[in-house]
Amino acid sequence: MAPREDKAFERALPMGHVAGTARRAPSTRAGDGISLSAATLDELLAAAEAATGSAAEPRAGTSFSSAYALGEGWRLFTAVLPDELGVPQARGVVLPRWTREMLDGREDLVPGGTFYRDHQYLLYRCALAYLRDVPLALHGHTGLGKTEAVRCFAALLGAPLYRMNLHGLSTTDDVVGKLLPVGHGKVDFQDGLVTTAVRHGGILLLEEMNATGQEVWFALHGLLDGSRALVLVEKDNEVVRQHPDCRLFSTFNPAEYSSLYPGTKELSAAYLRRWVSVRVEFPDTDAERRILLERFPDYRAEPLRTTLETMLDVSRMARRLLLDRARAFDFVLSTGLLVTWAQFSRDVGPVEGARMAFYDILDRRTKSIFRDQIFAYVTDWDTESLD
């Protein structure tokens, strides 16, 4: 059922967009959604239910009920963000799920169910960029869920996901496509992954965007400006217009931490202005506690509960040193590593668990800082076994 007209939600939205009047829309195109805002989450849910004629049901694996199913055909992504006066407002984007006709035999490209704790309303921001057809870049340290946010978003929409990992050796042939021999002295043009997504539609995720070179950036410029097209020079300058259901996302790590992310480059201002961006931060302690307790319920009881709190203290201290560039502490104890550490600590204890999860891969100097300035200060663990 398509959303009904509703004129109650004409308010400013984040990222420079203004919500239009909610409109009746068919559910066969990616952009046929609506943006909503209300004073409270309950009012927002009521408006979404009225617009679609379906009850809102929280989707498992997302935090604070930030994603909802509205029947089989619609998904609602929510956030609570301050308005221009600092007053919290409930925000929402209603999007249609992909239909079998839209997938056209590409069901194997739809991500499976995934656990994702959305600590920064990233699903809502992905949904807003998707609705407005604006390329969205998520940048921040490794292990903070940038890729998982886009993957979870695609899974909730039932959309095909095209992931391309860029690196220093990536070329336009990899991205756009190239001529390949097909026998009998003939050659044929084979689309690259980006061209495939642009031609057929889907969510295109360019990972490690600042690890590649300007040649690749320039090849993508046409997708990021008003033309929304790729030019296949080796295929007689064929122009591939962006499919109406194609959306662009990217991730990259902070280039200022060059020792942590070798090969990363500063993206040019001309390239960056073609994207809207969100810096993905470390979750706060409460959010990470919830992540760990949902993943590993046995940490709710002692003595593991005390161990968990100490691990959270360790992660806080490690991140404080990381962000203090004068310390030259180049190690990211990310949420992903914290989860791995907690997983092994249940079996072998926190010290050996740390060794298995991350400690043994550190260089000698970083090991010394971890052992003598973090573990020794924050914990009462016996760390003599750590060299």
Residue 22 has pLDDT above 60, yes or no: no
Specify the DSSP class assigned to residue 60.
T
- Secondary structure of residue 188 in the 3-state scheme: strand
- Residue 199 CB-density burial (10 A; 0-12 exposed, 13-18 middle, 19+ buried): middle
98-281 has which CATH code? 3.40.50.300
CA dihedral 323, 266, 133, 242 (to 10 degrees): -150
Element (H, E) at 241: strand 238-241
Highest mean pLDDT among 68-72, 111-115, 158-162: 158-162
At residue 16, the pLDDT reads: 33
Contact 73, 1 (CB under 8 A): yes
- The C-alpha atoms of residue 224 and residue 212 are separated, in whole angstroms, by 17
- The string of DSSP codes covering 291-354 is HHHHH-GGGGSTTHHHHHHHHHHHHHHHHHHHH-GGG-------HHHHHHHHHHHHHHHHHHHH
- Residue 364 CB-density burial (10 A; 0-12 exposed, 13-18 middle, 19+ buried): exposed
Residue 166 has pLDDT above 80, yes or no: yes
Question: Per residue in 178-235, pLDDT tens?
Answer: 888 878 878 888 899 999 999 999 999 999 999 988 888 888 888 998 889 998 888 8
Q: 60 falls in which pLDDT band (50, 70, 90)?
A: low
Element (H, E) at 126: helix 122-132
Question: Per residue in 74-124, pLDDT tens?
Answer: 999 999 999 999 999 999 999 999 999 999 999 999 999 767 788 899 999
- The C-alpha atoms of residue 96 and residue 74 are separated, in whole angstroms, by 4
Q: 318 falls in which pLDDT band (50, 70, 90)?
A: very high
Asked which of 1-5, 56-60, 126-130, 153-157 is least confident by mean pLDDT, the reply is 1-5
Asked which of 45-49, 226-230, 242-246, 372-376 is least confident by mean pLDDT, the reply is 226-230
Beta strand 136-139 with 276-279: parallel, antiparallel or unpaired? Answer: parallel
- Please compute the mean of the pLDDT values over residues 18-47 and round it to a whole number: 70
Residue 62 has pLDDT above 90, yes or no: no
Give the position of tokens 């997302």: 62
